[in-house]
């Protein structure tokens, strides 16, 4: 379940710490002709009946048809089809889950009012304890209504929704071409990077389970949402179709 809304801080400057990547332990290069369902799951529909609108009043219906593979890329296409919006959301839940490491994607963003692509993770125990207690790691979020901005966010039982631990960072030209988005996740802290530039560090002194649920496996999610409390509420129908082009997902030791 994604955020209902978000409290953010505007980054005044960048920190140029270099991302530290150890041994490559898993990668998905999307070189096949179809989604590898030994690794990935589809999440389908509009979230109903359990979390209609995916918890955020989002407008899209997720399908198995709103993506393709081309030149080693996964292309998720958000569309307006008649009176509905369609998109794709895939996860590695129960198939590829990770505790700690450097997790990264290289991707090209869709653009326009109402678009909301994301590369993120949820705690593997979410079905047992629910959101936000399971924890959420948003490595990349972009909303088309705020061009040239990248969001990196953590949701926990102690700080979620309006009080999430978050950073909003200006990146002029982020919509042009491909960029990398990663998190260096250790036992002690999380460092978030865009194009190997450190943009946000989360390192709470008190790491009780309500503040730091990040000592368990998490799974990866890629999707494009439309509208909703964060991406919208307004949606410009003239922007569609829009493509979220993902070159790879890689996980390194640290």
* 189, two tokens: 């802290």
As a whole number of angstroms, the distance between CA 248 and CA 163 comes to: 31
As a whole number of angstroms, the distance between CA 215 and CA 84 comes to: 39
CB atoms < 10 A from the CB of 96, how many?
17
Catalytic residues: 136, 141
CB atoms < 10 A from the CB of 24, how many?
11
Q: Do the Cβ atoms of 89 and 214 come closer than 8 Å? A: no
- From residue 167, alpha-carbon distances to 14, 198, 215, 246 in Å are 11, 11, 22, 23
As a whole number of angstroms, the distance between CA 156 and CA 141 comes to: 17
- From residue 87, alpha-carbon distances to 9, 41, 44, 126, 138 in Å are 29, 14, 9, 23, 19
* 253, two tokens: 């030791």
């Amino acid at each position: 379940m994604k955020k209902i809304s978000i409290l953010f801080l505007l980054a005044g400057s960048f920190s140029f710490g270099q991302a530290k990547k150890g041994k490559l332990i898993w990668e998905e290069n999307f070189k096949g002709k179809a989604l590898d369902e030994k690794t990935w799951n589809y999440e389908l529909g509009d979230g109903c009946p359990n979390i209609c609108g995916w918890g955020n009043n989002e407008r899209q219906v997720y399908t198995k048809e709103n993506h393709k593979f081309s030149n080693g890329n996964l292309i998720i296409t958000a569309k307006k089809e008649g009176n509905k919006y369609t998109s794709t959301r895939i996860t590695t839940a129960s198939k590829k889950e990770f505790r700690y490491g450097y997790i990264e994607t290289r991707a090209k963003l869709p653009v326009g009012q109402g678009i909301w692509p994301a590369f993120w993770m949820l705690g593997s125990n979410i079905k047992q304890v629910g959101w936000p207690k399971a924890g959420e790691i948003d490595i990349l979020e972009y909303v088309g209504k705020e061009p040239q901005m990248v969001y990196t966010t953590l949701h926990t039982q102690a700080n979620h929704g309006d009080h999430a631990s978050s950073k909003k960072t200006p990146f002029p030209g982020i919509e042009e071409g491909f960029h990398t988005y990663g998190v260096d996740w250790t036992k002690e802290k999380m460092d978030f990077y865009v194009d190997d530039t450190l943009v946000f560090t989360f390192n709470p002194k008190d790491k009780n389970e309500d503040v730091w649920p990040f000592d368990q496996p998490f799974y990866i999610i890629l999707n494009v949402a439309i509208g909703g409390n964060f991406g919208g509420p307004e949606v410009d129908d003239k922007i569609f179709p829009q493509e979220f082009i993902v070159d790879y997902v890689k996980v390194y030791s640290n």
